[in-house]
Structures are given as C-alpha cells and as structure tokens.
Amino acid sequence: MKNKQSLGAFPRTRMRRNRGAEWTRRLVAEHRLAVDDLIWPVFVIEGEDRCEPIPTMPGVDRITIDRLSGAVAEAVDLGIPAVAVFPYTDPALKTPDAREAVNPDNLVCRAIARVKESHPGLGVICDVALDPFNSDGHDGLLRDGVVVNDETLDVLCQQALVQAGAGCDVIAPSDMMDGRVGAIRDALDGAGFAHVLIMSYAAKYASAFYEPFRDAVGSKAALKGDKKTYQMDPANTDEALREVALDIDEGADMVMVKPGLPYLDVVRRVKDAFGVPTFVYNVSGEFAMLKAAAGAGCLDYDRALMECLLAFKRAGADGILTYAALEAARLLKGSE
C-alpha cells in the first residue's frame, strides 16, 4: 500500500469480521448470480416423441420438436429469460453448400416457431454458422481446402433471414468470418427485421473445449482439418479487443466471449474496454469436465457449478450461456 492511503491494519482492522456470519457475507457480497443471467442452450432433432441422450454431455439430450414446448416450460417457470436453439441435422441433408441452412422449413426454424408459439415471452437465440449443415463440418464454405470468407457471408445472411422470419429474437453469428455482423445487420434491416438483435460471438477461440458440442450437433465426424484459420489463437487477447471493436462498429447489440473459464481475462478486458452487454459461453467441454469430476467423487457438483458461474459474473459477464442453466436456476430459487 506504499504511497496510498492506509485502509487499516491489524489488530484494529480484522477482515474476518465481515465474514463471520451468513447475513454479513450477504450484505458485503460484491457480485451476485441471478436466474436473469442465464441462457439455456437446447438441442433439437427430427422425429416424434424422442429424447436422445448425448453421451459426452451427461444429463443433456437432443429432443424432438413435439417435446420442445414442455422442455422449455420449466425454463420459463424458473424465470430463465432466453434459450439458444441448436439443430442436429440429418446427415443426408448436409451438403458442401450447406443449403439446408437457408431452408425456411428446416429443423431449427420449425423449432423457433414452436417455442414462440407456446412461450411468446421467452427469448429465442439462434446460432448463425454453417457447421450443423455443412458436409465438411466447417462454419463456412470450403473451396479447395480453404474456408472462403465473402462467399460464406451471402449464405450466413440468408440463414439469418430465415431464422428471423421464423420468429428468432437474437441472431448470434458464431462463424468468425470477417465482416459478417455488418452484412447480417444490413440484410436484417433491409428485410424489415430491424428489431432483431445481434449477439456476436466476437471473441471465439480455436479451443479444445468444443468437442462434446460437436458431438451434439453432429459436426465432429464431418470436420475436415481444423478451424484455426478463422477462430482465434488462444494466445491472443489484444486481437480479441480488435474483433469486438469491429463487431460493435458493424452493429452488434451484444458481444460474447467463447469459451468461458479459460478466458475470464478476456471477458474482463472486453467489459472494461467497451462497457457493452457482454456474454460468455460456458462451453460443452467445461460442462463435461465438471460432470466427470463430480461423477468421480472429486468435488461437490452444485457448489463447483455455482462457483464457476459466479466467476463469470466477477469477470464482468452480463449473462451466461450454460447447459447447466436449469440446474443453476433451481439452486438459485432454492436459496431464496
């Protein structure tokens, strides 16, 4: 504390006094986690009355559209403000040009319509990227082994428009193509969807923590090569600030950092630098690790989960996409 005003010294100052009782700990808590902070990702699959467990994500299922309304009803009852919908596309519909992504009657568009019909007050967020629809498993179009940027933008804009047309409230481009936020904003505005928000996956890293998600949407087996030419290098944080700045300039209403736990420093830098609504994705690998550790008896799952989610808030996140949203919301409701 050299050259700074003294904040006290032992024994007159005893830091443990504020920690001595549960009520004082509540009074002096600097950060709080609430149900309002949670977004629940859900996976949909074709068929009827099916619930298909995802082996690498314990407790997470792919469900058919007829079960979707019932599944999200609990989220609504718990007060969760939004869900993010991801499709498991029939492999027979996957093509090099990802044409199913722009089909207004595709699985994700039908799922959006069902949720908005049954729960109109629940926010619906949709991923804009081609990997669930692309036979090459990439977020963009592949030409001679290279993911092409500008051609991909045209398809992403069409994908955003069919999702908005189905009732999607928030378009969330996760592809990391250059210029996609501005292109999508222009497309939405030009088609009468100026009210639709954009939550940009602004700082999305080429991470090892996505593998269970790729199982969940069926892109893992199809993926040729890796995604390092468009997703960010985990070594870089200044680059993340440039990416976020560009997306804000192009019209992003909210920005996201992905993954979460290994990138808390990036969340903090983004929030400090821009002060815009900042979200974080508690990704599938993080979720699966916690489940595996708890299953092995290494830790208390509920306590560890809430500690991780609070860490996102402490780092500056305004909201958290997490597969544990229902579990966390139940715990928060139970503590009220």
**Has 94 been annotated as catalytic?**
no
DSSP letter for each residue of 86-148: EEE--GGG-BTT-GGGG-TTSHHHHHHHHHHHH-TTSEEEEEE-STTTBTT--SSEEETTEEE
Residue for token digits 């991909």? Answer: 152
Q: How far is CA 291 from CA 89, 137, 285, 295, 297, in A?
A: 26, 27, 10, 6, 10
Interatomic CA distance for residues 293 and 313, integer angstroms = 23
DSSP, collapsed to helix, strand or coil, labels residue 282 as strand
CA dist 58 and 243 (Å) reads 33
**Could you tell me the CA-to-CA distances from 154 to 99, 138, 173 in Å, in that order?**
12, 15, 13
Catalytic-labelled residue, pool 94, 227, 258, 313: 258
Nearest to 133 by CA among 167, 172, 107: 107
Phi/psi for 62 (5° steps) reads: -90, 135
Look up residue 15 and give its DSSP letter: G
- 301 C-beta neighbours (distance < 10 Å), count: 15
Return the number of other C-beta atoms located less than 10 Å from residue 90's C-beta. 13
Q: Please give the single-letter amino acid code of residue 195.
A: H
Rounded to a whole number of angstroms, the distance between the first and last alpha carbons of the chain is 39
204 is catalytic: yes
The amino acid that residue 182 corresponds to is G
Catalytic residue, candidates 204, 227, 271, 313 = 204
Beta carbons of 102 and 53 less than 8 angstroms apart: no
Q: Which residues belong to the active site?
A: 204, 258
